[in-house]
Amino acid sequence: MSEKKLNLTLKVWRQKNAKEAGNFITYKVTDISTDMSFLEMFDVLNEQLINKGEEPIAFDHDCREGICGMCSMYINGRAHGPAQGTTTCQLHMRKFKDGDTITVEPWRASSFPVIKDLVVDRSAFDHIISAGGFVSVNTGNAQDANNLPVPKNDADNAFAAAACIGCGACVAACKNSSAMLFVSAKVSQLALLPQGQIERETRVLNMVKTMDDEGFGSCTNTGACEAECPKEISVENIARLNREYLMANLK
Amino acid sequence: MTKLNSKIPAGELETKWTKYKSTVPLVNPANKRSIEIIVVGSGLAGASAAASLAELGYKVKCYCFQDSPRRAHSIAAQGGINAAKNYQNDGDSVYRLFYDTVKGGDYRAREGNVYRLAEVSANIIDQCVAQGVPFAREYGGYLSNRSFGGTQVQRTFYAAGQTGQQLLLGAYSALERQVGIGTVTMYSRHEMLDIVLIDGKARGIIARDLVTGKLERHFGHAVLLCTGGYGNVFYLSTNAMGSNVTAAWKAHRKGAFFGNPCFTQIHPTCIPVSGDHQSKLTLMSESLRNDGRIWVPKKKDDNRKPVDIPEEERDYYLERRYPAFGNLVPRDVASRAAKERCDAGYGVGTSKMAVYLDFTFNTMRYGRIEANKLGIQNPSEAEIKKLGKEVVKEKYGNLFEMYEKITGENPYETPMRIYPAVHYTMGGLWVDYELMTTVPGLYALGEANFSDHGANRLGASALMQGLADGYFVIPYTIGAYLSGDIRTKSIPTDHPAFVDAEKKVQEQLDKLMNIKGMKSVDHFHKKLGKIMWDKCGMGRNEKGLTEAISEIRALREEFWKDVRIPGTQNEMNLELEKAGRVADFIELGELMCMDALNRKESCGGHFREESQTEEGEAKRDDDKFSYVSAWEYKGIGSFEMHKEELVFDVVHPSQRSYK
């Protein structure tokens, strides 16, 4: 892959803290290699700012290999930017053209308040998991792992749902800031496996209740969440969640 | 030398742990409720320990610097987790896993610890499956296994190339369950900046709230550090950007000895560096070596496309040098072999610092098997390739996608380019059999300790150790200490020791903020990384290490004079966070070089160029170096080494051979 250099204009959301109002600030970056990741381009910009004595832009990131779910930029109106099935850290500059103007915002959702610049608070997701996203098995309780065969198809589907990285792109992409894709992924994973059966009903009821309490919006089946999910979690999980929820309420 | 007591229980190797568990003092349930435990870190070791201890009834406080415990870097482990289940009927056993691990570690680990690890490995798989971890399965519904480097049995359990993610999310769900119940209090976006000692015992921590910048005091009857490894001392590594040594280093400065700091693992299969902008390196799971063949051209500076280089002009150098293990030799051996070829001028790609990892052969092999299964007579090459690609995709799909995203090349069509990169640190805080450091009440679990992997870790064993420590070791061993502590009431955090510790942390932060120098934190981190990689990396020698030590000392001086941290303390300040971590990395780097200089033998990942066989293989010196070096902090740049002699009752150290 031949490397090229780009000159870009960036419009980045700057916000001092949760209380103060934010605004867009325009920056120029030059000589950006197409082999860089989007976050490496931000590293270059931040180095420039530091050298000028300005405050660098705060953004969340950690593993930089698309699995921890910490990076969270809203790039040109899309969660994690233009590439399909890709987190911001795995988005590379070869997806952009010389002279492009790129707008970068934090996730926008009332349940994810901005902490600083592009950093938001996603602890609502942890609260949802602590309400029921688990199997209640204490350490030491387990039987031999092969005592309970699981059909490969179920295991594969559970894995596909469990691949969710909890980044919150689904919420950011949804016009109602709904967390249904996130919640449905965990509900599906455990509903598909025999280990999850005993708490199947309480799980879905408690997780949905917490989701509502945290202020996430309703799902209107537009599918924006699936389209923007970096792990391409399917909206079929939302259908399963609705079914699980209905069945649990009928009991 | 009398200071170190490994507390390995007496008796036969096979009965040590069983006997220990049956006789270790217990804490009764009523007392557990009034005992508080601090767990720093929320990866596999931290999350599993926090959850398991809370299940037992202890009051647990857990800390992570990320926005959620689910982000911990254990999540990025790809390939799998070993367990001596022998589900494949291929002759595996606890003893074999133990033996492979001791041998793989080049005879620099404790027999007692490693045997226990192998023993509990099977329980880990049971526990994870019960939590709903979706491991890969066969059509019959039973768990699937694959093989990994350094072994001849299939004992690795996996979930595509996302095993770490699935195991961590399992441990995270167990942790969040306890958070929901109220037995664990979770402190996300908090960083531990010091240990508080009272009467010589660890009794709490000073943590900084990374959102408000405020310092906080937290009491615990015991403190567990589950804070991972220190690979980022090299700047470029496969670790997450935030992975750091700070918690372990603060503990070291408060009296915890640092074990084998120079033992770092350079992983053979990573995506090569593409330029100066590079912020981190990405691993391509070692499991790829099951189905990928590693080669370079036989001709120097061969600029043809890899597909245009005919079979007979390729050098499958691992298969050539190590016919018994071939592409599945341990990581240290594979890494050095790649370096040797590139240094000799046979490297590929624009930087010439890469080798090929080629899936063509096995894609076609799988394709023919699939064609047979489907009953296709005389399939065409194209048909075979298509069927084979499907198989490869199912096994490694996410890794291939990741490779393509980063490099822009399609590995189904052209071989991957790979090169070794820093991946894991076997060294860490010295701990005894109970996982306690040399500071009473202070424990280290998972990669943060030095204990089980000797001088080199086998693939798929990091996840095993992290979860073994957290789920199955610490819940027992901590009783030995806490049973003597049941009368200790919670100590209020206005105790002078807390006040003093907080004051010192505050002074350090003030000092950093007031330097107001000219150079960014990253500037210093990159410089440190280059010194470490060049002189304390895959090959080490006396001259280089001596130079490195003086260069690091100079860098430390410069850092404390010229680092620039914008912003203020009392707010989220990512540069301040990084600066504190880099300051600690600089001190650690010096110790690593001192340790590497002291260890004049080659062993595992530590290759002293002065100590090699005629064929260029690592040469151990058991007479002089069959010990753990445990370093005591004596002030900045000053360390005293203590030795823990290693005793091998069962396995007899021999020169490792994978030929």
Count of CB pairs separated by less than 8 Å, A with B: 229
| Residue B59 clears pLDDT 50, i.e. is over it | yes
Q: What is the pLDDT of residues B230-250, one digit of tens each?
A: 999 999 999 999 999 999 999
Give contacts of B269 with chain A, Cβ < 8 Å.
none
pLDDT at site B537: 96
What secondary structure letter does DSSP report for B79?
S
Q: How many CB atoms lie within 10 A of CB B579?
A: 23
Whole-number percent of chain B with pLDDT over 90: 91
Ranking A77-81, B203-207, B469-473, B617-621 by mean pLDDT, the lowest is B617-621
Distance between CA B326 and CA B316 in Å, rounded? Answer: 9
For domain B35-239+425-482, the question of CATH label 3.50.50.60 is answered with: yes
CB contact under 8 A, A65 and B402: yes
- Using 50, 70 and 90 to split pLDDT, how confident is the model at B148? confident
- Using 50, 70 and 90 to split pLDDT, how confident is the model at B652? very high
Distance between CA B217 and CA B212 in Å, rounded? Answer: 15
Nearest neighbour of A146 by CB, restricted to B51, B66, B143? B143
Tokens of A60: 């969340």
Q: If we measure between CA atoms, which residue out of B284, B327, B273 comes closest to residue B150?
A: B327
Nearest neighbour of B126 by CB, restricted to A60, A129, A145? A145
Q: What is the pLDDT of residues A120-130, one digit of tens each?
A: 999 999 999 99
- DSSP assignments along B275-288, one per residue: -TT-----B--TTH
Mean per-residue pLDDT for B438-461? 96
| Residue A25 clears pLDDT 70, i.e. is over it | yes
Q: If we measure between CA atoms, which residue out of A90, A65, A211, A144 comes closest to residue B165?
A: A65
Q: What is the pLDDT of residues B323-364, one digit of tens each?
A: 998 998 888 899 999 999 999 999 999 889 999 999 999 999
Q: What is the pLDDT of residues B117-147, one digit of tens each?
A: 999 999 999 999 999 999 999 999 999 998 8
**Mean of per-residue pLDDT scores for chain A:** 97
Q: Is B459 helix (H, G, I), strand (E, B) or coil?
A: coil
Q: How many CB atoms lie within 10 A of CB B375?
A: 6
- Using 50, 70 and 90 to split pLDDT, how confident is the model at B378? very high
| Residue B657 clears pLDDT 90, i.e. is over it | no
Nearest neighbour of A60 by CB, restricted to B48, B67, B127? B67
Counting Cβ atoms within 10 Å, is residue B557 exposed (0-12), middle (13-18) or buried (19+)?
exposed
- List A92's β-bridge partners, or say none: A37
Whats the size of chain A, residue-wise?
251
Q: Is B374 helix (H, G, I), strand (E, B) or coil?
A: helix
Q: Is B136 helix (H, G, I), strand (E, B) or coil?
A: coil
ipTM of this model? Answer: 0.98
- List B436's β-bridge partners, or say none: B443
Q: How many CB atoms lie within 10 A of CB A192?
A: 26
Query: Degrees (nearest 5) of the Cα angle B272, B274, B275?
Result: 135
Minimal Cα–Cα distance from B60 to chain A, Å? 15
User: If residue B625 lies in a helix (H) or strand (E), which one and from where to where?
Assistant: helix B622-625
Q: How many CB atoms lie within 10 A of CB B614?
A: 6
Q: Three-state secondary structure along chain A?
A: CCCCEEEEEEEEEECCCCCCCCEEEEEEEEEEECCCEHHHHHHHHHHHHHHCCCCCCCCCCCCCCCCCCCCCCEECCEECCCCCCCCHHHCEHHHCCCCCEEEEECCCCCCCCEEECCEECCHHHHHHHHHHCCCCCCCCCCCCHHHCCCCHHHHHHHHHHHCCCCCCHHHHHCCCCECHHHHHHHHHHHHHCHHHCCCHHHHHHHHHHHHHHCCCECCCCCCHHHHHCCCCCCCHHHHHHHHHHHHHHHC
CB contact under 8 A, A126 and B188: yes
Task: Supply the residues of B annotated as catalytic.
Answer: 331
Q: How many CB atoms lie within 10 A of CB B455?
A: 29
Is the Cβ–Cβ distance between A203 and A190 less than 8 Å? yes
Is the Cβ–Cβ distance between A149 and B141 less than 8 Å? yes
Nearest neighbour of B566 by CB, restricted to A55, A123, A152? A55
CA distances from B12 to A178, B16, B108, B435, B650 (A): 59, 6, 20, 20, 9
Mean per-residue pLDDT for B315-327? 94
Distance between CA A38 and CA B627 in Å, rounded? Answer: 46
Provide the CA B391 distance to its chain's centre, in angstroms.
30
CATH number of B516-624: 1.20.58.100
Tokens of B304: 């043809």
Q: How many CB atoms lie within 10 A of CB B377?
A: 6
Half-sphere exposure of B183 (CA within 13 A, CB side): 20
pLDDT at site B598: 98
What secondary structure letter does DSSP report for B83?
-
Minimal Cα–Cα distance from A144 to chain B, Å? 5
Tokens of B392: 């490869």
Distance between CA B169 and CA A226 in Å, rounded? Answer: 21
- Using 50, 70 and 90 to split pLDDT, how confident is the model at A3? confident
A51 touches chain B (CB under 8 A): yes
| Residue B1 clears pLDDT 50, i.e. is over it | no
- List B315's β-bridge partners, or say none: B296
Distance between CA B601 and CA A179 in Å, rounded? Answer: 56
Tokens of B623: 């007479």
Mean per-residue pLDDT for B157-178? 96
Q: What is the pLDDT of residues B517-528, one digit of tens each?
A: 999 999 999 999
Mean per-residue pLDDT for B574-590? 98
Q: Is B520 helix (H, G, I), strand (E, B) or coil?
A: coil
Q: What is the pLDDT of residues B405-433, one digit of tens each?
A: 999 999 999 999 999 999 999 999 999 99
Q: Which CATH architecture is the domain B267-421 placed in?
A: Alpha-Beta Complex (3.90)
Q: How many CB atoms lie within 10 A of CB A5?
A: 11
Give contacts of A140 with chain B, Cβ < 8 Å.
123, 127, 472
Give contacts of B566 with chain A, Cβ < 8 Å.
49-50, 53-56
**Domain range list for chain B:** 35-239+425-482, 267-421, 516-624
Q: If we measure between CA atoms, which residue out of B79, B68, B51, B69 comes closest to residue B135?
A: B79
Chain A residues 180-209 within an 8 A CB cutoff of chain B: 189-190, 193, 195-196
Mean per-residue pLDDT for B289-294? 92
φ, ψ (nearest 5 deg) of residue B341: -65, -45
Chain B residues 344-403 within an 8 A CB cutoff of chain A: 401-402
> Which spans in B308-420 are helix H?
317-321, 331-343, 360-374, 381-407
B305 touches chain A (CB under 8 A): no
Q: How many CB atoms lie within 10 A of CB A34?
A: 18
Provide the CA B104 distance to its chain's centre, in angstroms.
15
What is the set of domains in chain A, with CATH numbers? 5-116 (3.10.20.30), 123-138+146-250 (1.10.1060.10)
Q: Is B157 helix (H, G, I), strand (E, B) or coil?
A: strand
Tokens of A144: 């031999």
Is the Cβ–Cβ distance between B281 and B273 less than 8 Å? yes
